[in-house]
Structure 1
Amino acid sequence: MADDEHTIAERIRGNLESFTASEKRAAHALLAHYPMAGLETVAEFAARAGVSAPSVLRFVSRLGFVGYPDFQRALREELEAQLKTPLMKASPEPPGARGDRLGRFAAALRANLSETFAHLPDQEFEAATALIADRKRRVHLVGGRFTDALAAYMAAHLRILRPGVVHLSGQADTRRDQLLDIARHDVLVVFDVRRYQENMVALAAEVARRGGKVVLVTDQWLSPVARSATHILSARIEAPSNWDSNVALLALVEALVAAVTERLWPEARRRIEEIERLRQSL
C-alpha cells in the first residue's frame, strides 16, 4: 500500500523510533489530540508540543509532506473519513449487478488484516499485553454500539486465564455504577471506532484521572480516547460496504489473548485444568 494511503497516525507510529527528540514531542502532541492539534497554525502546534516552529516543519517533512498546508489537507480528509455515516459510505450494488462482489469483499478484509499487523508497533503490543496480563491489576473491558461484542469476547477469554476480569456492560448509568469499583492501577480496555462515542471518551478520561491505565483498541483514524490512553492499538476497518468491518479488530483481540495466554501459561494452565474438572462435576 502506498504511503499516501496510510493515515498520518499510522505513519507516525510506524516511524516513531527514528524521530529526533523534538520530532517525537511533536508526534506525541499530535497523537494526544488527533487530528485537531495538526489543524492549528504552525505556531500553535509548536507551542502545544513545546518545540520550535522549524521543528514542527521538519516533523511534517519527515512524514512525507511537501509543506504544512499539504499536511493539514491530509488531516482534514481524515477528519471527514472519521465522521462518515453509513449513508455516506459505499452504496451496495443493485441486485443482479455483475462482478465478483464476494471476491472484492474478501480482498478488502485480507488487506485490512495485512495492513493492521504490518503497522502494529511491537513495543506497543507487548506493553499492552503486559498490562492486561498483570495479575496485580484488575482488567475492565468496554466497547461501543458495534464493538462491545468484542469487549465481551475478550473478557470471556481473559476470565479463563486470570482473575479480576470485568466486562462493563449495560447502559451508561450502569457503567457509572461500575466505575466506582475501578481502582488506581486497574486497566481499562476500550474499544471505540468511528463514529466515536462521547461516553467512551468520558469514561476513559475518568479512569485515567483515577490513576488507571487505558488500553485503546481503535481504527486507523484514532478515537479521541487516545487522549487518555496509555497504549493504543489500531486496526483497519474500511470495507466495500455501508458498514465498517470488525474482522481486523477481532484478529487483534485474538492476538492479545494468545499473547496473554503465553505470559500466564503456568497459572492459566492450572485454571483451565480446574475449569475442566468443574465441567465434569457441575
Structure 2
Amino acid sequence: MAIREQVQAALGTLPGAEKKIAHAFLANYPSIGLSTIAELAALAGTSAPTVLRFVARLGFESYPEFQRVLRNDVQAQLMSPLERARSTGPATENPALKASFASIAANLDATLKAVPESEFEAACELLSDQKSACHLIGGRFTDTIASYMAAHLRIIRPNVRHFGGQTSTWRDQLLDVRPGDVVVFFDIRRYQSDLVRLGELMVERKARIVLITDPWLSPIARSARVVLPCVVDANRTWDSSIALMALAEALIDRVSRSLSESARARMQTLEDIHWNNLPGR
C-alpha cells in the first residue's frame, strides 16, 4: 500500500499522540511528510520521539526511509500514461492475455486487502439512507462507472441522480443537492481539478461524500466521510478500472440486500411496467 493508504488504515489503532501526527500528515499530504521531523511534530503538536514511533509503527526503520518511500509514492502518482509506457517497454509476456488477467486478479486481491470492511459498510449505510438523495459522478474515464452504478441504484432506491453533461452544467445540478445528501465521487490519478472543486462545493452544501479513488487518494479525500481506495496500477500504459467496477458492484449488491423489502417492491413495480407495455398487452 502507498504510505497515505497505510496511515489511513492504521488510524483506528494508533495511540492518541500518534493519531495527531496521522491527521496532520493526511491533512497536509505530501508536503509535511517531506519536511523535517521537528516540523511534522510541531504541526501535530507532539514531539520528535512520537514522530519516530509513528514511523516505526508503519514499518519503517527510520524517518529517511519513510521519506524515500513517500517520494516514490508521489512520483508514481504523478506519472502520465506516456511516462508509464516508456517505463514498461514493449510487451514480452507470452501469452499476453494470461498476463493481463493475472495482473487484474492481483489488483482485485490487493484492493480487497486495502479497503477496510468498516469503511465499506459505512459507505453502504450512507447509500442505503433513502431519506437523502444520492448523486454520483466520475472523471474522464471513471464517469462511465458512476453512470453504471447510478443506473442500478435508481432501481432499488429513490432519488438517485447521475451528474451528467459538461462541467459548466454541474453548478446548475448543484441546485438539487441538499444538506445530508450523499455524493459518490470516482476520481483516480491524474486527479481532475474540476472534480476536486465540485467536492468543495458539495461540502459547502453539507453533502456527505463517499470517495472511490486509488491508493494515492484524490484530494477529495480531505472532504470525504468515507474513502475507498482501489488498486489501479497494472504495470502497463493505462491504469486498470476493474477494481473500481468490482467495488461498485459490491456496493450495489450490499445496498440491494440492505434495502431488501423496499428494493424488491421497486423491482416488482418496474417489472409490472415492463410487462404492461409489451406489444399486445
TM-score normalised to structure 1 length: 0.92
Kindly tell me: are residues 135 and 143 of structure 1, through their superposed partners in 2, closer, same or farther at Cα, counting changes over 3 Å?
same
The AA in structure 1 aligned to 2:210 is: V
Question: How far did 1:75 drift?
Answer: 1.2
Partner of residue 172, structure 2? 177
Structure 2: tracts of 5 or more residues without a match: none
The SS at the match of 2:195 is helix
Question: How far did 1:64 drift?
Answer: 1.1
The SS at the match of 2:211 is strand
Equivalences for residues 3-42 of structure 1 within 5 A: 6-42=1-37
Equivalences for residues 181-200 of structure 1 within 5 A: 181-200=176-195
Partner of residue 215, structure 1? 210
Is the counterpart of residue 67 in structure 1 residue 62 in structure 2?
yes
Partner of residue 199, structure 2? 204
Q: Deviation above 6 Å: which 4+ runs of structure 1?
A: none
Question: Which residue among 252, 255, 263 is the counterpart of 1:260?
Answer: 255
The AA in structure 2 aligned to 1:249 is: L
Question: How far did 1:98 drift?
Answer: 6.2
1:93, 1:229 → 2: CA distance?
37
Partner of residue 232, structure 2? 237
1:211, 1:43 → 2: CA distance?
35
Is the counterpart of residue 153 in structure 1 residue 145 in structure 2?
no
Question: Which residue among 155, 158, 166 is the counterpart of 1:163?
Answer: 158
Indicate the RMSD between aligned Cα atoms, in angstroms.
Answer: 1.7
1:73, 1:40 → 2: CA distance?
12
The answer to whether the 8 Å contact 1:32/1:226 transfers is no
Question: How far did 1:236 drift?
Answer: 0.3
The SS at the match of 1:89 is helix
Q: What do the CA deviations read for 1:148-207 (whole angstroms, capped 9, x no partner)?
A: 001001100110111111100111111111112211111111100000011111111111
Partner of residue 141, structure 1? 136
1:66, 1:205 → 2: CA distance?
37
Q: What do the CA deviations read for 1:196-253 (whole angstroms, capped 9, x no partner)?
A: 0111111111111221111110001111111111110000001132100000110110
Structure 1: tracts of 5 or more residues without a match: 1-5
The AA in structure 1 aligned to 2:174 is: L
Report how many aligned residue pairs link the two structures. 276
The answer to whether the 8 Å contact 1:31/1:226 transfers is no
Partner of residue 127, structure 1? 122
1:280, 1:93 → 2: CA distance?
54
2:148, 2:27 → 1: CA distance?
28
1:114, 1:176 → 2: CA distance?
38
Kindly tell me: are residues 98 and 156 of structure 1, through their superposed partners in 2, closer, same or farther at Cα, counting changes over 3 Å?
closer
